[in-house]
Amino acid sequence: MDANDTKLRGLKACTVCASAKVRCDMVLGQKRCTRCERLNKECVSQPRGSHSRRSHSKGGTCARDDLRRLESKFDSVANLLSSSSTTALPSITIATHPRKASSATNSSSQTPPETQSPIHALFSFPLSSGSHRLAYKMLETYRQEMMPLFPFVWLGLDETPETLFQERPMLYMAFMVVTCQENIEVQQELAQKYREEIGRRIWTLTEKNLQLLQGILVFLAWYQTHWVLGHQLSNLMYTAMSLVTELGLDKEPSSGTRTAPGVLTEITKKQEPQPVRTNDERRCHLGVFWLNSLLRICVKDIVPMPSRPSINNSCSILEAGLESPWDTYLVQLVKIQLVASSISATLYQDLERNEAQISHTLFMATSHVERQVQDLGATLHQGSRLQAPLTMSFHMLQVYLYKIGIDERLHEPPNPNLLSSSDPSPHTLRCSYLLVSCLNAVKAVIENFLLLKSPTILSMPYSYWIQMGHCINMFSRLLVTHSTLWDPNLVTGIHDFTSTLERVAVKIEGAMREGAGMTPPRYLPSMFNQMRGKLIDICGKVGESSKAMAQGYVGTPTAPESFDTGNMIMDEETEALLFSFLGEGDFL
């Protein structure tokens, strides 16, 4: 192809370059383009009219054909849209990012389904007018009734359902789950969707932010609302603890040292100024620590969350600032669990060793920690509304301290001559003191529960229910403990136990009746409906076990070989009746 001819024709590409859809470069004086020269191919120019527009025949035949094809495409798109509109939209239509919604999400969630009731459309964004009104009432329920009992996740007065859903969707959904008390079935549906969303955001989207941690903390705090979906208590607790570590909430910004852990990425990582901890971050960190400590005391021996200096520092900052009217109550709850951590480190770590006997220096350690508990009790004070829950938590701390006296190894001193009934030894007196003190603390927890008003019982977090469950468990263990050092019939009895559980059942049933008459109604989870029958069965089993232990005891510190120690308190079926709603897993 002559370069001069190609220039006159407008520098069109040769046939070889045109078929390959690449640029055709010509050099003056050459007969072939650069590419054909390199490939040693024949370079032939394209015929005239290769890129000219098609000439339309008279009557616009080609134009009509194009129009028909375009109309056919429109018809197919219209049919596709009409068929997809009949399918149900996803219930959770929130953005993947907390502030920015993806185009796919927006296209499917601009208009909530009109067929859904307001309570079913609480997870669809934007909210319909009915869902907005309902969500606003539910946020008010959390703010007025629930947040004072769990002040670790603060909800400001300026928060609206729309802004909360758009900016902090996981926290918004957690609020909707725990406050959806007018329909228990819908509450379980929302809880199941929330569990699925937690897994999607953490494991699929690898999210790590404060609003996700706050949502999980609220969801975990009212664990009884979704307990029936399957036991996830430990998983949720460890997830919250890992988020605290990932977000660095357990350390102060200036706490880094040259000996801190680090890998190769730390060498090239750009050092940026660390922001100052916000009060919301501090409350959230303290909330995870508080729940972790209570679960270890009442439910199962999970990995403890370290009581770092940042916890004391956060308590001091919140107590001095008083940004929230409930911060004082929050700090006092945390201080109680800090003392519980001290009790665990001082007393119970030694009990984990499988020794035949416990060193009697344990009595000295118990007296030392007891003074810490007494000093703490003198500083606790709160308004009338929260005084009963606070006192309940303090007496739970005493139960944790004194229940060490139930350990049978304390009832077997090295020298049996110390067990003279006519002249009690200091060992005997001290063991009896621990058991009586434990019984009194158990009764004090239950008495403070009976002082609670019905709205408080309807709003109680899971942490208060497990305190009640653990105290009833300790009460039953005290009844079936018989030894030279302890005869429960001298200070209590099965009738005392039965009447106490009867009062608890009456209190809960009264709160449930009052909640059913509220507008909108507030119901407890379905597991509470058979409360009285469960407690009656428990009383019967404990009475039988106590009688068997009393008959089998013949004045020695150990039970006869014929007595099955595995049934000392209750069988698995009976124990499940009690703790199916008041706890989960292994019990201390």
DSSP secondary structure of 105-172: HHHHHSS--TTS-TTTTTTSSSPPHHHHHHHHHHHHHIIIIIGGGSTTS---TT--HHHHHHH-HHHH
Is residue 432 within 8 Å of residue 375, measured between CB atoms? no
Is residue 31 within 8 Å of residue 2, measured between CB atoms? yes
pLDDT of residue 180: 96
Q: Which two tokens stand for residue 144?
A: 């007025």
Is residue 175 within 8 Å of residue 153, measured between CB atoms? no
From the number of C-beta atoms within 10 Å of its C-beta (0-12, 13-18, 19+), residue 293 rates as buried
Q: Which two tokens stand for residue 275?
A: 């922001």
Cα 20 from chain centroid (whole Å): 60
Looking at residue 377, its amino acid is G
Closest CA to 164 of 182, 180, 142: 142
Residues 6+ apart with CB under 8 A from 452: 388, 389, 460, 507
Looking at residue 117, its amino acid is S
Q: Which two tokens stand for residue 543?
A: 């009475």
* Strand partners of residue 483: 486
Closest CA to 342 of 304, 393, 395: 304
Tally of CB atoms within 10 A around 287: 25
Q: Round to whole Å and give the CA distance between 58 and 53.
A: 15
Closest CA to 383 of 320, 327, 340: 327
DSSP summary character for residue 88: P
pLDDT of residue 87: 38
Residues 6+ apart with CB under 8 A from 491: 436, 439
Per DSSP, the three-state class of 392 is helix
From the number of C-beta atoms within 10 Å of its C-beta (0-12, 13-18, 19+), residue 235 rates as middle
Per DSSP, the three-state class of 176 is helix
Residues 6+ apart with CB under 8 A from 218: 150, 153, 171, 174, 175, 178
Per DSSP, the three-state class of 103 is helix
Tally of CB atoms within 10 A around 307: 17
Per DSSP, the three-state class of 566 is helix
Looking at residue 312, its amino acid is N
Is residue 246 within 8 Å of residue 282, measured between CB atoms? no
- Phi first, then psi, for residue 45 (nearest 5°) are -70, 155
Q: Round to whole Å and give the CA distance between 176 and 123.
A: 9
Low-confidence ranges of the chain (pLDDT < 70): 1-11, 48-65, 69-70, 72-115, 253-274, 350-360, 411-425, 482-485, 549-588
Asked whether the bond before 126 is cis by omega within 30 degrees of 0, the reply is: yes
Q: Which two tokens stand for residue 194?
A: 């929330």
Q: Which two tokens stand for residue 465?
A: 């229910």
In Å, the largest CA–CA distance within the chain is 130
Is residue 180 within 8 Å of residue 138, measured between CB atoms? yes
Per DSSP, the three-state class of 356 is coil
pLDDT of residue 20: 82
Q: Please tell me the pTM assigned to this model.
A: 0.73
Is residue 308 within 8 Å of residue 265, measured between CB atoms? no
Axis-axis angle for helices 233-247, 279-298 (nearest 10): 150
Q: Round to whole Å and give the CA distance between 428 and 218.
A: 45
Q: Round to whole Å and give the CA distance between 576 and 535.
A: 11
Alpha-carbon distance values, 550 to 465, 479, 560 (Å) = 31, 10, 11
